[in-house]
Structure 1
Amino acid sequence: MARQPRLYAEGYAQLISVDFSESTQRSLQSFDSQPYPELLNWLGRLAPLHQVAVHGWAVTPRSMVILATPEASSSLPSLVQALGRNLAAQLRSGSVFAGRYHSTIPQPGLWVLPSLIWLELHPVREKLVEDAESWPWSSARTHTGAPGAMYSWLQPHPDYWLCGNTPFDRQANYRRKLSEGLPSASDRQISTCLRGQWALGDERFMADLQKTATRRVQPGVRGRPKKQ
């Protein structure tokens, strides 16, 4: 079966997830493993080179999840490839990823902030920590204003800025949202759209997005079309 083209629409953020290979997972088992800070250094340095604005990220032994806005359809694929090459050289191994990355385009004002929360709760879902702020290899601490967790290259999404009028308000409100987590239905919907590589939003958003997207943004109706 032919590979499905990448879903892209100019000006929209994407939530992407890529699984690590078994050999890479073994190298990342230790929380203080050297590849973690190296990956963050590469992400901060390479994202601008590939015209990607990073809004959030989380790296665990199993996978890497990023919320970012690419300037071109080739921006995110080239960034992930560059990260893979650097990590492979660091670990002196073959392929560091277990296949291609998955992606979804979440609707601004409705699904971007939940997608960011879903991303930063990734280490909690993997039972690595009990709360998102306890995991050092994600953007959670930066968004909640935890000490010593500032990354100058992280570009907060406009939906994050709506959490409050001042930095303190935004951080406090976002910390509360992150602590509360997502309804199970929202969690499942994000996971389903990400794995299926479909857009995430209401009917009006889907219709508008379809006008500029590189391919179909949601699954077609199953079965044969009805006879007229």
Structure 2
Amino acid sequence: MARLARLCIPGHPHLVQQRGHNGQPVFLDEADTQGFLRLLADGAKASGVAVHAYGLAADEVHLLATPAAADSLSRLMQALGRQHGQAFNRRHARSGSLWDGRFRAVPIDGKQHLLAAMRYVESAAPDLLASSAAHHLGQAVDHAVSDHPLYWALGNTPFDREMKYRAWFEQGTSSAEADRFRRAVTQGWPLGERAFIDDLSQLTSRRLAARPRGRPPKAPL
């Protein structure tokens, strides 16, 4: 069966995930993570991707990002994969592929899931080495991050936004919510209500939901 094409809809936020080959680490030290974040900041600008949140675990990368064009995410992730892979292999005297195949990405309904997706990405793994949480909590300025308008809508001042996001962030991601996001990005089906899916169907010819299991019903005689 042919592999379903990756779905990338310009102007909509996407959950993005990329893992290390066979679960191997893609970050071994602070130099690795900081080098990747510099590449992310530069690559996002060059490829037309607004990165709203990120979380880096030892063996995987999570992003919440909005592409400006249909190929923007692919351009960003291919550049990151190549450049970080080369730097990692050079620093740690290794060779071969660093990443586990192609990255995964899925559009989400920002109006419904944006803030929850930010929280998920910034706490997607218990052993995160780096995330954009400090930026949204007012603890640092992160040049890799482009704040989404829905984050800005939390308050009229940076202090208001940071305090409201802190209260939201500290509630934590429930296991059900984490499973919903994890399943969406793994399966590749858009995450949102029926109206959102219907809107997306006007923008792409790709199938947007799994086919029902079993044989189709027979047509009446």
TM-score, normalized by length of structure 2?
Answer: 0.90
| Aligned twin of 1:95 | 97
Q: Separation in 1 of the partners of 2:85 and 2:23?
A: 10
Is 1:140 aligned to residue 133 of structure 2? yes
* Deviation for aligned residue 1:152: 3.0
Q: Which AA in structure 2 matches 1:109?
A: K
* CA shift for structure 1 position 183: 2.9
Deviation at 1:180, TM superposition (A): 0.6
Q: Contact 2:8–2:105 at 8 Å: present in 1 too?
A: no
> Helix, strand or coil: the match of 2:111?
coil
Structure 1 residue 214: deviation in Å?
Answer: 4.9
**What count of residue pairs does the alignment treat as equivalent?**
214
| Residue 20 of structure 1: aligned partner | 20
Deviates more, 1:195-204 or 1:159-168: 159-168
Structure 2 counterpart of 1:62: 59
What SS does structure 1 have at the residue aligned with 2:118?
helix
Alpha-carbon deviation of 1:60? 1.2
**Structure 1, residues 8-49: CA drift from partner, whole Å, max 9, x if none?**
222111110010125850x6244x3x1110000001111111
Aligned to 1:80: 77
SS of aligned partner of 1:103:
strand
* Residue 49 (structure 2) pairs with residue 47 (structure 1): no
Cα pair 2:9 2:67 within 8 Å, conserved: no
Amino acid at match of 2:125: P
Quote the residue 1:208 is aligned against: 199
**Range moving further from structure 2, 85-94 or 69-78:** 85-94
SS state of the match for residue 123, structure 1? coil
Residue matched to 1:118: 120
Whether the 8 Å contact between 2:57 and 2:129 is mirrored in structure 1 is: no
Query: Residue 135 of structure 2 contacts residue 142 of structure 2 at CA under 8 Å; is this kept in 1?
Result: yes
Q: Where do 5+ consecutive residues of structure 2 fail to align?
A: 90-94
Distance 1:200 1:81 in 2: 24
% identity of equivalent residues: 32
- Letter paired with 2:112: L
The one-letter amino acid of 2:82's match is R
Q: Name the counterpart of 1:184.
A: 175
1:6 corresponds to:
6
| Unmatched 5+ stretches in structure 1 | 129-134
Q: How well do the aligned residues superpose, as a CA RMSD in angstroms?
A: 1.8
How high is the TM-score relative to the length of structure 1? 0.87
SS at match of 2:77: helix
Deviation at residue 2 of structure 1 after TM alignment: 2.2
Question: For the structure 1 residues 180 and 85, does the alpha-carbon distance in structure 2 shift closer, same or farther, using more than 3 Å as the test?
Answer: same
Q: Give the aligned partner of residue 132 of structure 1.
A: none
